Structure 1
Amino acid sequence: MATVDAIEDLTGLDKATQLDVLRRRMATVPGRRDHAPADLPTAAPLDRPEPTTPDQ
């Protein structure tokens, strides 16, 4: 079983510093990709029937 490092308390930091700390921590995750793939598959739109309105 893998061990997990304790997450430091970031509540006393401003939001920008919190984000910086979290981004640096994420960058240390093994196997993390540097960027999202640019060639994502596209999905065909679902065939959905047009909604009907009751006759008035």
Structure 2
Amino acid sequence: MLRWTVIFVILAIVAAVFGFGGIAAGAASIAKVLFFIFLVLFVLSLIFGRKKIL
């Protein structure tokens, strides 16, 4: 999921350089949503993925 976030960020930067503001804003917002979903899933996996050794 982090890979898709990076792809959309790069797409937003390239679109902004070429002057496509709407596409750049859309790609940036998609990247932001994907990044926050990644963060939530990462934190949940850290919390619930711990195994008790004892």
TM-score, normalised via structure 2 length: 0.32
> Higher relative CO (CA 8 A, sep ≥ 6), structure 1 or 2?
2
TM-score, normalised via structure 1 length: 0.31
Task: Decide which structure has the larger Cα Rg and report it.
Answer: 1
